[in-house]
Structure 1
């Protein structure tokens, strides 16, 4: 949160400097992949356990949201070259992670998740269980995580000079063709009831007719990534321009309109390069003996825990995701000390929403100051659900205040 605030306000990014100085960026990448593996291997098993019906899903939600928190932080700090260099060999694991997210997004699987979540919010349909609600939230969150991975990949293409990383992006994953597919299907844009909507600042927004050709930040990130991967000399020597790859890349010519190039003038060089590619057949890359590094984190985590996923899920149900009242109070106290609500609200891209009906809200719960409502009626209606969380937050806040006064 502090890193994003510093970057958005153009202040000294001391969080980034500390992470670089203490060599913690590889730790962040490992945590990111660890949560990704947990969500794929353990979370589905956990939700299917018949004896798992938690009274409180707060701890589960924190784990699910942890991946989004880390990728947000990495998006902020990887903008800088020294962060990319400090990531060292973990950049290879991060490239693999981004490839998994981008291919998932290109398949439109993540967009289906966020669409389902939107429809649930609009209809107000009751969810059968708390675990099903968490699965819906996790699917919706996956779309936003994939969008952040687009930006992280762009920063890697900006800064990396490692032969192993370049080889991984071009030869192993064929990233240019993946990015062409993203340009073609544009998963952050959709038509809904005759209106064009684009996913901006964490939500789908209707785009006026006069702004429909305006490039979004995500469009720009993909185009810059393609520019870096196709026009850098080291990349051109490595990439195999076979018939399939060449035909895929030439699809881009239809998207490189004058309106687009006016918004990102550097793309004129890419346009010229594609025009040249259309009438030539580049020589295949030389087969060289290269001592190549390979990513280890994903394979190591999966190999060490293979066949243990159900046992891990059962253990976590008993020891981690079934907290006592005292554990919940302690966690609430820690969160109240950690997060400054005023600072958090300044980072929100939109106005607060009513906790009951989801419309724009202007009034807070007077006790905990954490939930918003549009009218008194919504607050009364939502009180049975909000009561327990409100009590925990209020007690934690009062305890902290007493400690400060003493």
Structure 2
């Protein structure tokens, strides 16, 4: 990767993501009016990249409007300008590109392409999915989508949700430092790809639930597509039983909450998760609606699968989602009747000989020169020009946010090495996946009164990285200081180079438990082998700065007070191997 290596949150903000400047209604309407459909050969071109940035900004604004319960002008503009079918077609186009073209480009993305461009391209699918998710919540938005696009969307949701049943290994906790030193660039890219794919699949459950909410107003061909062709009920039942939103590693149970994996506490046991609730609600809608139930074909296997849900519908679950009582009643009636109420509907369904055929994806799959197309895009859209454009875009973004001072920019442009007297630290509070709240900025000054110390980091297979360590000046704790958030994104800028880490500090459930927390916590951001520096930030427990996180319900008590800066040598010995490139920033929290 290049000198500028940014996290998902940085890239979202740089390109109009969830922390971007709010859009006005007229600006959003103009942007939506200018949306166009690109063919699969144009994925990655400059115009496509610009539209991707627009989609991310629209997605951020749509979520902002929904959370603030304000005028949802993004949704209304998408509906009135008939752009929802276009977004669905764009989603299908990128799905085919990712399935057929991207495998030939994966190594190029990992080794030769900078993280900025690779992230912007791969994030296109989650951005479109999130925008459709917040839009299709509204009934009039579902009604505005053409029948052909809705059929394609049903099929896409089925394909995407089905991936949740595949056995995959998700990074639930930060990787071990030794493991980071030995991982290949392809491993890093594949991990990011898996995380985005998992988030997209989870969002598809929400879209399925919204479609099931509005069955009575959707075109007639949608219900047979959901119930018979895709057998959505069987898929949802399998997901509820498999619980992909929950994984056990050793003695700990990890749950997918707010777009990230967290360790389930004792108080969260038995609590219904958001995506689990979406699956339950979708099943309830499909099985209790008279129109969709008419297309339900029952056999002994299907009866057995449905009855496996009944023991899960206990009082704890029904108290959280009372509407599930309708599903429990349906399952009880199904047992009593033995499924005989379906006999009359089978003859009716047998008369259905006309069905909407999905043509968009079929048309996209007609070409076969995928490898040739990948090589063309590698030379044109994902070559040196694209890397220089993304590099300059992020440099402008850093200057706009004051993440790099002028001396760093001048030194970089002249080829000279700058010697900054301070390290800038920026902290964002993490609310959920890709949703950050600016928290605070800190300036860590180097302590010239202490001599530098030589450091050496040794990895596996004999790899070594040399550098120096310089202490930081002690940072005064202001009377009105506020402790760092429990979960945060920390970005550090040194000499025009940025490193970042997702940090989860120790926190107390109640104020009385603060005394049991460690007095000092060290947070390491950056890796000598990949970022060229590593900041070791010393955080002290300061009860006067303690505050309760209203969203997460825990007490935060740690304030930065000093630390050290490790800077790698220009010519490490031995030279870095291919396994030492393009690693994510290290998160290292020591109590």
Equivalences for residues 121-270 of structure 1 within 5 A: 124-126=179-181, 129-160=184-215, 161-270=218-327
Using structure 2 for the length normalisation, give the TM-score.
0.57
Secondary structure of 1:125's aligned partner: helix
Secondary structure of 2:261's aligned partner: strand
- Cα distance, 1:182 vs. partner? 0.6
Q: Which residue of 2 aligns with 1:384?
A: 532
Aligned: 1:320 with 2:320: no
- Cα distance, 1:130 vs. partner? 3.4
Runs of 4+ displaced beyond 6 Å: 333-339, 350-353, 366-370, 373-377
CA distance in 2, matches of 1:347, 1:380: 22
Q: Using the TM superposition, name which of 145-154 and 291-300 deviates more.
A: 291-300
CA distance in 2, matches of 1:57, 1:364: 17
- Cα distance, 1:84 vs. partner? 0.8
Q: Using the TM superposition, name which of 240-249 and 167-176 deviates more.
A: 240-249
Q: Which residue of 2 aligns with 1:8?
A: 67
Secondary structure of 1:238's aligned partner: coil
Q: Which residue of 2 aligns with 1:401?
A: none
Inter-CA distance 119–333: structure 2 relative to 1 (3 Å threshold): closer
Secondary structure of 2:309's aligned partner: helix
Q: Which residue of 2 aligns with 1:395?
A: none
Structure 2 residue runs without a partner (length 5+): 1-59, 404-426, 440-486, 504-521, 535-566, 568-591
Q: Which residue of 2 aligns with 1:66?
A: 124
* 1:309 aligned residue (370, 374, 382): 370
Inter-CA distance 278–6: structure 2 relative to 1 (3 Å threshold): same
In the TM superposition, what whole-angstrom CA distance separates every residue of 1:344-370 from its partner, at most 9, and x where no partner exists?
Answer: 9677427799xxxxx956564378797
Equivalences for residues 73-112 of structure 1 within 5 A: 73-89=131-147, 90-108=149-167, 112=168
CA distance in 2, matches of 1:43, 1:380: 29
CA distance in 2, matches of 1:193, 1:52: 31
In the TM superposition, what whole-angstrom CA distance separates every residue of 1:240-291 from its partner, at most 9, and x where no partner exists?
Answer: 1222222211111111111101111111111111011012223152222353
CA distance in 1, matches of 2:400, 2:127: 15
CA distance in 1, matches of 2:326, 2:177: 45
In the TM superposition, what whole-angstrom CA distance separates every residue of 1:122-166 from its partner, at most 9, and x where no partner exists?
Answer: 764236553442222112211111100000110011113322110
Using structure 1 for the length normalisation, give the TM-score.
0.81
Secondary structure of 1:114's aligned partner: coil
Inter-CA distance 53–191: structure 2 relative to 1 (3 Å threshold): closer
Query: Is 1:35–1:63's contact at 8 Å kept on the other side of the alignment?
Result: no
Q: Which residue of 1 aligns with 2:506?
A: none
Q: Which residue of 1 aligns with 2:112?
A: 54
Inter-CA distance 53–363: structure 2 relative to 1 (3 Å threshold): closer
CA distance in 1, matches of 2:301, 2:316: 28
Aligned: 1:300 with 2:360: no
CA distance in 2, matches of 1:150, 1:187: 12
Secondary structure of 2:248's aligned partner: strand
Query: Is 1:170–1:176's contact at 8 Å kept on the other side of the alignment?
Result: yes
Secondary structure of 2:272's aligned partner: coil
Query: Is 1:61–1:134's contact at 8 Å kept on the other side of the alignment?
Result: no
* 2:170 aligned residue (106, 110, 114): 114
Secondary structure of 1:163's aligned partner: coil
Q: Which residue of 2 aligns with 1:22?
A: 81
Equivalences for residues 354-369 of structure 1 within 5 A: 364-365=492-493
CA distance in 1, matches of 2:430, 2:83: 24
CA distance in 1, matches of 2:498, 2:74: 26
* 1:288 aligned residue (328, 351, 357): 351
Q: Which residue of 1 aligns with 2:443?
A: none
Q: What RMSD, in angstroms, separates the aligned Cα atoms of the two structures?
A: 3.4
Query: Is 1:113–1:136's contact at 8 Å kept on the other side of the alignment?
Result: no
Structure with greater Cα Rg = 2
Query: Is 1:81–1:159's contact at 8 Å kept on the other side of the alignment?
Result: yes
Query: Is 1:197–1:205's contact at 8 Å kept on the other side of the alignment?
Result: yes
CA distance in 2, matches of 1:169, 1:123: 47
CA distance in 1, matches of 2:278, 2:524: 44
Secondary structure of 2:357's aligned partner: coil
Q: Alignment length, in residue pairs?
A: 373
Query: Is 2:527–2:533's contact at 8 Å kept on the other side of the alignment?
Result: no
CA distance in 2, matches of 1:337, 1:230: 55
